Structure 1
Amino acid sequence: MNKFLFPFLLLFGLFVTAQSKVGGIVLDEFDQPVAFANVIFKNSSQGTITNDDGRFYMESENTYETLLVSFIGYEDQEITLTRKVNYDMKVIMKEATENLQEVVVISGKQSKKNNPAVDILRKIWAKKRQNGVRQFKQYKYDKYEKVEFDLNTIDSALMKRKIFKGLEFVFQDLDTSRITGKTYLPIFLNETFSQVHGDNLLNEEKEKVLGNKNSGFDNNQAIIAFVEDLYQDYDVYDNYLKIFDKSFTSPISRTGVDTYNYALRDSAFIDNKWCYNIVYYPRRKNELTFKGDFWVNDSTYALKEINMEVTKSANINWVKEIYIEQEFDVVNDSVFLLKRDYMLSDFSFRKKEQSRGVYGKRTTVYNDYVFDEVKPKEFYRKENNPFDPAVMNQDSTFWARNRLEALNKDEKGVYQLLDTLKTVPKFKSYYNLVEVLGSGYVEIDKWDMDIGSVYDFFGYNDAEGPRFRVGARTFFGQNDPWRLEGYMAYGIFDKKFKHGLAGKFLLDKKSRLIVSGGHRRDIEQLGVSLTSTNDVLGRSIASSSVLTVGANNKLTNINLSAFAVEIEPVTNLRVGLGTTFRTLSSALPDDFSLEYIDPTSATGLSSEIKQLEMNALIIYTPGKKTIGYGVERRNINDTYSTLLLNYSRGIQGTLDSDFNYDKVQFSYSQPWQIGGFGRLYSTIELGKTFGDVPLGLLSVVPGNQTFFTTYGTFANLDFYEFVTDTYATLHLEHNFNGRLFSRIPFLRKLNLREIVGLRGAWGDLSDSNIALSSPTNVPLIAPNDRIYYEWSVGVGNIFKIFRIDFNFRGNYLDTPDARPFGITGSFGFSF
């Protein structure tokens, strides 16, 4: 997810007709809130559960005269509803005094034994693979999805603010949420209709998007990618549900009995099926859990309905409420299939009841299930682009035929509202500001050009001192088949101009055949990555390190020309061939020498390297999802693994190139969701250079002399502290997402997150390579005696945006100027 887009979308964001609306608070006789009390309209299956503060709100399209409030251990309360709208209700629960021997009090932790709700839960586990589409060899169904964003908690004070002067007409059609009771204003709507095919034998699934429509942001893939990443599919039968990049324990999970309290509340006929009603709530605070209830059939033990509300104390940022409803359709006596999935999220900077925010609402409707239609394996491998013009330009007839749920009045009004807003200069200014902050580029429409990135404008390093950079790129639209980009930079100390220019051309959309090339003359910090990169315009750490640890003077002048051809014959498998020619020399010769023995030189030494290199590259990213069909696409998930294999051949003689050598490099990165214990990131890198090369072409174990936490580097190593021609490194970083801190009372409310890391490197350096670079003033040391390692413990989510890591060096402590301990940090917006 774009880390800049979300907070600014939230900042910028500042008539379903219901017959019965109720809201208020449930208290005990001592004026203490009663959390997780059951609130239902009498003689119905429509209900909700009070939150941690005892508050509730719900509404119905039907008219009801009585509200029933219950909680085991208290007397049931029936409240007569004198009006259709009943807000600010105060319900007092009295402790039960009769039949106490038959009452099971569920206000605290519940026993897992002799609990009928847990017995039913175990039967759900036993049957879950026999329910839904899992019980068929193949399946197909239609899927309609609409995602809407609304500005909520609208009041007169907000309407009168200067930011809305000239935009007052947007407040004409306000509505009230049936979940929270807050007023809201729709500001964005996206609709998608698709067909989903799956094969349980092949373990394959493919969604083919047939239509996509959104209000006012057709070309803004940053917003669309944000929406796609935000609302990914989940299955409540899974043990853990990924929502907003967090792993929540499902109430139907096999580990649910350790996470939730369960109680059997009721039983009734729903769609002529006898079902049990089970209420659940978390055993502990601050964990990623839900509260709610579900209805389950008494014979198939398949879910009929489930309501899930994220607990207020859950360790998740920028989200005040998450509410989920799922309904399952009874196809026949033994088949229950997902029919409708509704999710409401209340995004806000604060979790206070009256704080303003943005609603994100997703409604997904499923229909026309077909089973056991066999499709060849190749069918699932063909790529489908939901943003193809044929898909984006469907007419009104298509949508009238394929909307599985009609738009209500306020949803229909979103399209007209955004069309009107786009003509208002003030709104366009706000929208452009959000775009700049999110993308880093200032769009110049009349030139079809973007200026930026604004985040690269200023930098600092020892060679250049203060550095200023201005860049630009062509931009005709999100799906440009070609793009040119360049920059100019100037250093105050060295008084030199630097530049970079690159171009990419998409020659074939189907195979994604791309030709690219460019040239760059600049200053670079080599040795911050083991795996080679030929990115002509990559922003080097050399231009951004304002504050560093120790002397950061090992900088290199680079003059790089590159050309490459890339193709994607199979989805997520990229194959590339390229060539580069680079000239390397020290940017600070008095402090950092790249000299090597050169018998052809008059002095026997050379301080400049000229090198022609050919390379072949294979990158495989299974599970990666992208949008767009132009030369540049956007990723919409981060759960995929990456396998990289690179072969490089140095060629001596041509263009006065200096060395012959062969280099092979391999890396594998994988994120792992460890159930409810957070996420582990892992990377392993291997490489070897065959042939004799000087320091400038060797593999440097990546150090980090900045104060920023950078995954893939070694926080306690200086640049060029270890130099190798053969290496193996491992990086492990696990974020517990507050799982441990949530069990410590005085830390619980801070919602901090614990992070641990372990990093190791082994490498070797041949005697001939040591001899070749002997004139340099850089110690040529490889960690071949024993594996170098370091470990770290960190605390994240400090004030929701900061992270601090404490890094400890495990060995090689006798190395001159070795750093046994260091502190690094980072900041960013994340859930």
Structure 2
Amino acid sequence: MKTHYQTFLKKSFLTLVLLSITLVAAFAQTTIKGVVTDAKRKDAMPYVTVQFNGTSQGVSTNMQGQYTLTNTGNNKQIKVSFIGYRTVVKDIDPTKDQVINIALVEENHALSEVVVRSAKKKKYSNKNNPAVELIRQVIAHKKQNQLENYSYAEYNQYERMNFALSNLSDKFKNKRIFKNYQFLFREQDSTAIGGKTLLPLYLEEKLSNNYYRQNPYAKKQIIEANKQVKYDENFVDNQGLTAYFNRMYQDINIYDNNVSLLSNQLLSPISNSSPDFYKFFITDTLKDQSPQLIELSFTPRNTNNLLFEGKIYVTMDGNYAVQNALLTVNKNINLNFVRQMQANLSFEKNADGRYHLSQSDLKIEFGINKNKGGGIFGERLVTITNFQINKPRDNKTYAGPSQVIAENADSKDDTYWTMSRPDTLDKASADVYKNIDSLQTIPSFKRTMDIATLVLAGYKNFGWFEMGPANTFYSFNPVEGFRPRIGGRTTPQLSKRYYFETYGAYGTRDQKFKYFLSSTYSLNNKSIYSFPQEYVRASFQHDTKIPGQELQFVQESNFLLSFKRGNNDTWLYNDIFRLDYVHEYLNHFSYQVGLKKWNQSAAGSLQFQNLLPNGQLNNVNLIHTTELSGQLRYAPHEKFYQGKLYRTPIPDKYPIFTLSYNMGIKDFLGGDYNYQNITANITKRFYLSQLGFTDVSTEGGYLFGKVPFPLLDIHHANQTYAFQLYSYNLMNFQEFVSDHYASIMVDHNFNGFIFNRIPLLKKLKLREIIDVKALWGGVRSENNPNNDPNLLRFPGTNGLANNGTATYALGSKPYVEGSVGVGNIFKLLRVDFVKRFTYLENAGAPEYGVRVFVKFDF
């Protein structure tokens, strides 16, 4: 009996063990994960369907092409599918975790067969098109799915921007010049576009708290932490570099009608007018998702236009919101140097069932040659977390400037960043900070940067002193003949408070020495060549000048400006002492006040003459002026790169306001005249979506008082062969003077909108431009020498021009000139055919001209 009982227990125990093993095996979970990429381009592929073969259990890859599947059964295969690509089936081991990366191949042959066997291609139409009906629903629901729909919103934001030389060959990498820099190179990862080898150059990270209020409107960003690669300030404007990159890689709001990209605007696929410019197709329905999604593909009707192509995934829960978007551009787009562009947008559902942007990943690869060779790869990743709605804050949270940087934002340590980043920064990226620091200690790199600065900026650095600018070392003009010049200035290496600048020049024809001296004291302990400036400067200049040409000292002797059309021998000799105070603020409001003592005498064919009571001409040797001045300037959201010579503006939609006031004081420091001169200027760029953009500048001025003609407003003329945006290109120097005037200058770039529709021209990627300038003005009787013989006579009075030139006052009609131009020639040149419409009877007035403008544009 006992034996039978023991046998029963043993069998029962074995049964339980076998049953337990079976149950464990049945409920065991294994994980399959990996990355899906395009086999040809090596790009990560988001929104690819990965599922267990023969089941409906699956997921879609994320923006980095990554997927994770949990196997709770005995599934032995996964299937990977995406529209336009060959489906891949892979065996898996259901008993263990594994990583399986998939490279999908485009289904080229299948597409070719469809084309051959199909009947006559049906013409695309918006009418009765379900894809167009769907996109119209998305457009109709845009307002409710935007941030501005909420009374209040707040969120945390992480930004990461990086740039690197890309697609580098082994031959390039192993060049002798990079012998000491091998530690900089790294292999490209599978989730990025571009070639396999990178040379990282730049990395920046930001962590910020963001607050939005609908009424009254306020949008505030407080940057809590900021970290960036920094180069030697003797070579690079780090602040300007950041501004330039941020302008190129702006936030992408797909709900806006236009999306800013690379200083251009591309029409959004869900803009109000998108059905007129895009073709839409329903390419998939994702029923296993919650909510159900419709995959909507789109492509430009004209592939040269500034438009996207790609896919958006629309929620079918009544919101018609975008849950995901993949934006690229066609290879034929009229954008310069862009090899590839890919923007991935992800949205998350809010507590109220609507959606907000949770992540944006914009990647662009640039190259001189779009098809091969080395290039530049750039990426901007934005991650939004802790999104909260309708949670009001006190008023001080929204008050003040739209962007505030915390005092200790730049001093956060590595531990803080490791804890605060929403993702993990890989070691290769994290090493960029210290690698660039190490790079700048290598003597050969310093020598390379020194040579580059001389070639590009014109200055040769000698430590505490730099010599330049190089383009002024040699020039010529009819008055001075050949004009050698040499000069330079001190650097922050000598002092961050005191700066000195000087040059000396000599004219071989007039045999006169010229020179300039200045001393500047920085009041904010920052370089006077960096923003924001606050300094006091005293300077003295003894040199020549073309009347009415208010060029900076460093530009007047530019070699390229030596080549001019027509007669160019009406000049001035000047002795100018200036005392200036300049103060700029972080919100880009600035003011400056100054004192100027100016003695000017005629040079070349120019003569200062008045009439004596007996009717004889009297030569006047000098004009003495003492002037106080003030200027207010406001340029909201202004961005620029601070170069060695001047600031290079980064164009944007925001206006720039300038108000200037000058007051001449008689008998003060030898001044001979009392007068007041007020000038106001507004400059703005208008973006017109697919029609391009328009730059508009309006200006007006009024001079109170009685003055000789050299103190009137001498309008900006241009006698060079270069096209100048803010000068009159067919007006002669000193041709028109006014004591009251108003002007408007309009320059419109169509960005290829017309040429893109002409078969023979669209391949050249040319861009059409029109330009119009008009000037109204005049001289009151009190400043007209015909009414007062004591005033200096206008040169060429009564039609007797000096060497074919003369000075006039504007009459009842305006001065008008216009031009039509072709831009983007060789991606660099703009050529304008200019016509002058009025005052053609003036001495030496040209009616037509061709002008060239050199500009680097995307």
TM-score bracket for the superposition, by shorter chain length: 0.7 to 0.9
Letter of the 2:822 partner, please give it.
V
Give yes or no for the alignment of 1:425 onto 2:443.
yes
2:94 — aligned with what? none
Superimposed CA distance per residue, residues 705-762 of structure 1 (whole angstroms, 9 cap, x where no aligned partner): 1000111111111112222111111110001111111000000110011110011111
Superimposed CA distance per residue, residues 743-792 of structure 1 (whole angstroms, 9 cap, x where no aligned partner): 00000110011110011111111334232122744634222231121110
CA distance in 2, matches of 1:573, 1:774: 41
CA contact (8 A) 1:381 1:571 kept: no
Higher relative contact order, chain-length normalized (CA < 8 Å, sep 6+) = 1
2:301 — aligned with what? 283
1:317 — aligned with what? 336
CA contact (8 A) 1:596 1:694 kept: no
CA distance in 2, matches of 1:725, 1:229: 40
Q: Which of the numbers 542, 545, 553 marks the counterpart of 1:521?
A: 542
CA contact (8 A) 1:110 1:262 kept: no
CA distance in 1, matches of 2:280, 2:695: 34
CA contact (8 A) 1:548 1:706 kept: yes
CA distance in 2, matches of 1:272, 1:211: 36
User: Any idea what SS the aligned residue of 2:306 has?
Assistant: coil
CA distance in 1, matches of 2:218, 2:485: 47
CA distance in 2, matches of 1:212, 1:478: 29
Q: Which of the numbers 775, 779, 804 marks the counterpart of 1:765?
A: 779
Give yes or no for the alignment of 1:358 onto 2:376.
yes
CA distance in 2, matches of 1:288, 1:732: 22
2:81 — aligned with what? 68
User: Any idea what SS the aligned residue of 1:470 has?
Assistant: strand
CA distance in 1, matches of 2:275, 2:122: 14
1:30 — aligned with what? none
CA distance in 2, matches of 1:413, 1:463: 58
Q: Which of the numbers 356, 359, 363 marks the counterpart of 1:340?
A: 359
CA distance in 2, matches of 1:382, 1:92: 57
1:459 — aligned with what? 475
Give yes or no for the alignment of 1:616 onto 2:630.
yes
CA distance in 2, matches of 1:94, 1:675: 34
Letter of the 2:110 partner, please give it.
M
CA distance in 2, matches of 1:24, 1:262: 26
The CA deviation at 1:653 is 1.3
If the length of structure 2 is used for normalisation, what is the TM-score?
0.83
**Gap runs ≥5 in structure 1:** 1-16, 26-36, 49-56
1:123 — aligned with what? 137
CA change 1:440–1:319 in 2 (3 A) is farther
CA distance in 2, matches of 1:598, 1:402: 82
The CA deviation at 1:544 is 4.5
The CA deviation at 1:439 is 3.8
2:430 — aligned with what? 412
CA change 1:367–1:492 in 2 (3 A) is farther
Superimposed CA distance per residue, residues 176-227 of structure 1 (whole angstroms, 9 cap, x where no aligned partner): 4544564434332111222223333233323222222123537542433332
Q: Which of the numbers 755, 765, 772 marks the counterpart of 1:751?
A: 765
CA contact (8 A) 1:700 1:724 kept: yes
2:695 — aligned with what? 681
The CA deviation at 1:300 is 1.2
CA distance in 2, matches of 1:498, 1:404: 61
The CA deviation at 1:490 is 3.0
1:562 — aligned with what? 578
Give yes or no for the alignment of 1:820 onto 2:847.
yes
Superimposed CA distance per residue, residues 685-708 of structure 1 (whole angstroms, 9 cap, x where no aligned partner): 111212221121111222211000
Superimposed CA distance per residue, residues 573-609 of structure 1 (whole angstroms, 9 cap, x where no aligned partner): 3233222111111221xx111334589xx98541311
1:712 — aligned with what? 726
CA change 1:288–1:209 in 2 (3 A) is same
CA distance in 2, matches of 1:141, 1:483: 44
The CA deviation at 1:612 is 0.2
Give matches, 1:368-517, under 5 Å: 368-371=386-389, 372-376=391-395, 379-382=398-401, 386=405, 390-445=408-463, 447=464, 449-476=465-492, 480=496, 483-507=499-523, 514-517=535-538
Larger Rg over CA atoms:
2
User: Any idea what SS the aligned residue of 2:832 has?
Assistant: strand
CA change 1:355–1:314 in 2 (3 A) is same
CA change 1:770–1:718 in 2 (3 A) is same
Give yes or no for the alignment of 1:665 onto 2:679.
yes
Letter of the 2:222 partner, please give it.
K
CA contact (8 A) 1:597 1:775 kept: no
Letter of the 2:851 partner, please give it.
T
1:146 — aligned with what? 160
1:28 — aligned with what? none
Give yes or no for the alignment of 1:735 onto 2:749.
yes
CA distance in 1, matches of 2:288, 2:631: 58
CA distance in 1, matches of 2:106, 2:823: 39
1:9 — aligned with what? none
Q: Which of the numbers 838, 843, 846 marks the counterpart of 1:811?
A: 838
CA distance in 2, matches of 1:805, 1:254: 34
Superimposed CA distance per residue, residues 289-310 of structure 1 (whole angstroms, 9 cap, x where no aligned partner): 1111011211212211111001
Q: Which of the numbers 809, 813, 816 marks the counterpart of 1:782?
A: 809
Q: Which of the numbers 694, 698, 717 marks the counterpart of 2:708?
A: 694
Aligned length: 777
2:255 — aligned with what? 237
CA distance in 2, matches of 1:97, 1:187: 46
CA contact (8 A) 2:475 2:557 kept: no
CA change 1:359–1:466 in 2 (3 A) is same
CA distance in 1, matches of 2:191, 2:699: 51
Give yes or no for the alignment of 1:552 onto 2:568.
yes
The CA deviation at 1:381 is 3.0
Q: Which moved more, 1:784-793 or 1:768-777?
A: 768-777
